[in-house]
Chain A
Amino acid sequence: MSNQQPTFKPALQRKQALYVLLLLSVAAMGSVALSLLSGSISVTFADLWQLLSHDQPTLTRTVVMELRLPRTLAALIVGAELAVAGCLMQVLLRNPLADPYVLGVSGGAAVGALCSISLGLGAFWISGSAFVGALVNLLLVFGLAHGQGSWSPTRLLLTGVVTASGWGAVVSFLLSIGEDSHLRGMLFWLMGDLSRASLAGVNLTVLLICLALSWALARPLNLMLRGELQAKALGVSVYPIQLTLYLLASALTASAVTQAGSVGFLGLVVPHILRLSIGTDHRVLLPAAALAGGTLLLLADTLARTLIAPQQLPVGVITAFIGVPMFLWVLQKSNRGQL
């Protein structure tokens, strides 16, 4: 039996994974092109080509380079961050219902941002205080979940969920005392909005670092899904990995929320759609989630900009409109079993 050739072809599986990633990259690039081409001012493919070769300051050039490109990149990066954060959070809490916001990161950020909005401060302060809010939540939940006893996914989840609802109450309070003229800004922030996206250099750095670190942990993550003890039995240092996961997921979420407000749904649905269609191996899943999340958010944002143009919709509404049916469809078609 030992000199028998294996019937399972690892090379084939790796090739399939490569195809999946390639396909997703093509989709991402296609959606970038689509996003750059659509908007109130008509831009053709030829125009885009010209932009690359010449650099005369025309209106088309300014619109594409100053309005559409930063927003396109921000959508791509924020989508990727949320999808990866969702994957990590689901592993950390070993709960299929977990999303990037379940531990209250977005709640903390929302309180920070809404305070700034209600004080009438500018975009820089809104982003800054959102980040501070996320950071406060990170330390608060970590401190409380750690407490005297041991840290367990359930304890962490409970602490996070309760903290998140605490933030929710503060948000409601801020909304109810908020001045009328600020309310629209607050609501758009809460629904998720990419219109104030700036060149997302910081976000890109956060994304790349977190993606690289979590990809390095991909195989242990596969084991963590089988349970803490099973992972321990197979030689995983569970606690350091949980801690890393918590920090990575929080950093990704904080950076996404700071840039775009709380765009719902993406972080929950993208990991599941991918798990159901390409499997649970995080070595493939994590990069795939980054690509698919980025593409989905970019498409949603393009729709939000153009669907009833010149009026603008909050992108969070569109992600839910696309995400829900897509998820249900994949769930129906899937033969990889239920969650």
Chain B
Amino acid sequence: MPALNHLLSAFLLAYLSITQAIASTVVIEVQDDRGHKVKLSQPAQRIVSLAPSTTELLFSAGAGKQVVGVVSYSNFPEEAQRITSVGSYNQVDLESVLALNPDLVVAWYSGNSPAAIEQLKRLGMPVYLTETRYLEQLPVTVRKLGLLTGHADSAEKIAEQLHQGLVTLKQQYSQQRPVRVFYQVWDEPLITINQENLISQVIELCGGQNVFADLNSIAPRISVEAVLQANPDVIIASGMEEQRPEWLDAWQYWPSLNAVKQQQLHFIPPDLIQRQTPRVLQGAILMCQQLAQTRQRLSKASNE
């Protein structure tokens, strides 16, 4: 019965390959930051990243080489600047995205236009939406992106470092004597942040109190008088460039401010704190050091 045997084995083989095929259609499945399932049959090889922060997240997950499309201002790490651009995060050119024939799109929920994301999903594109509301989410996102891109191990390492870094800062600083912080996003118009903003959580992590935490909008515009009224112990600003903004020192005009009395006008490069990426850890370390300095000054002043 060699013929029958042959036939059977042929069937078996066919069966096996079919089940394998079925199984292989869903090899990787994760939930994105918005709770939607993202399924891939194999690790993504051609990734389009729709925000500077998602590009950074992908690179830190170890998937930098698979990124084939980015948006403008994707300036970190340096290699990202050489990748094809598909527009800006608020105006994505969908045709360029499609032309790159990606097998994964990583988008930014509160930055990209919902219509563009909807359109990509309708075209059958797997879309991972990032949205970082809490610092602890960052390592989780890195892990998931590692999983989707076939770098689970290296991503795990980075995520663990990030997690440990945040935990260490928390243990070291969050229970220290509170310092009243005014974080200045911009001067004209004068804009700060409320407690929903990730930066406010960094402030808390370092044992600071955001004096405008209770305002309603996430990036409220306030008056100079309101700052004078709140009388913060320290003013931290980012601005837009990599160097200290000139307008930060304009506060010297108000010697009655505690922050001016103690000479606590600090600068943190915007990319280290305003982007929701693993580099926030660097920004957080910087801020914790700055607040520690303020704390020192305050206790010295109260001793005198």
Contacts and interface: CB of A to CB of B under 8 A. Distances in A.
Contact of B221 (A41, A180, A312): A312
A176 B256 CA distance: 41
Interface string B219-241: 11111111011100000000010
Interface string B196-213: 000000000000000010
B252 interface: no
Contacts of A308: 216
Interface stretch (B20-28, B137-145, B187-195): B187-195
A67 B224 contact: yes
Interface stretch (A80-88, A163-171, A188-196): A188-196
Given A120-B240, A311-B217, A311-B220, A184 B191 contact: yes
A41, A66, A312: residue with the most chain B Cβ atoms closer than 10 Å: A312
A123 B223 CA distance: 16
Contacts of B76: none
A56 interface: no
A39 to B, nearest CB: 5
A310 interface: yes
A63 B228 contact: yes
A123 B254 contact: no
B75 interface: no
A310 B189 contact: no
A40 B189 contact: no
A40 B226 contact: yes
Interface string A152-196: 000000000000000000000000100111001100100001011
B189, B217, B253: residue with the most chain A Cβ atoms closer than 10 Å: B189
Contacts of B190: 195, 312
A295 B199 CA distance: 40
Contact of A39 (B189, B221, B225, B253): B225
A309 interface: yes
B152 to A, nearest CB: 33
Contacts of B221: 184, 188, 311-312
A165 B248 CA distance: 38
A202 interface: no
A309 B223 contact: yes
Interface residues of A, number: 27
Nearest to B238: A181
B109 interface: no
Given A310-B215, A310-B222, A310-B223, A123 B228 contact: no
B186 A181 contact: yes
B91 interface: yes
B45 interface: no
A41 to B, nearest CB: 5
A199 to B, nearest CB: 15
Contacts, number: 69
A193 B189 contact: yes
Chain B: interface residue count, which band?
20 to 34
Contacts of B188: 123, 185, 195-196
B90 interface: yes
A311 B227 CA distance: 11
Interface string B286-297: 000000000000
Nearest to B221: A312
Contacts of A59: 228, 256
A41 B254 CA distance: 14
A272 interface: no
Interface string A64-107: 00111000000000000000000000000000000000000000
B189 A188 contact: yes
Contacts of B226: 40, 309-310
Nearest to B217: A311
A334 interface: no
A282 interface: no
Interface string B52-80: 00000000000000000000010000000
Contact of B225 (A41, A123, A180, A193): A41
Contacts of B228: 40-41, 59, 63
Contacts of B91: 176
A44 interface: no
Contacts of A180: 90
Nearest to B256: A59
Given A181-B240, A193-B189, A67 B225 contact: yes
A195 B222 CA distance: 10
Nearest to A188: B189
Contacts of B220: 310-311
B253 to A, nearest CB: 8
A305 interface: yes
A230 interface: no
Given A39-B223, A40-B228, A184-B186, 7 more contacts: A41-B225, A41-B228, A179-B240, A184-B219, A188-B189, A311-B221, A312-B190
26 contacts: A39-B223, A39-B225, A40-B223, A40-B228, A40-B229, A41-B229, A59-B228, A62-B256, A67-B224, A68-B225, A120-B240, A179-B240, A184-B186, A184-B191, A184-B219, A184-B221, A185-B189, A195-B189, A305-B223, A308-B216, A309-B226, A310-B212, A310-B215, A311-B216, A311-B217, A311-B221
Interface of B: 73, 90-91, 186, 188-191, 212, 215-217, 219-226, 228-230, 240, 253-254, 256
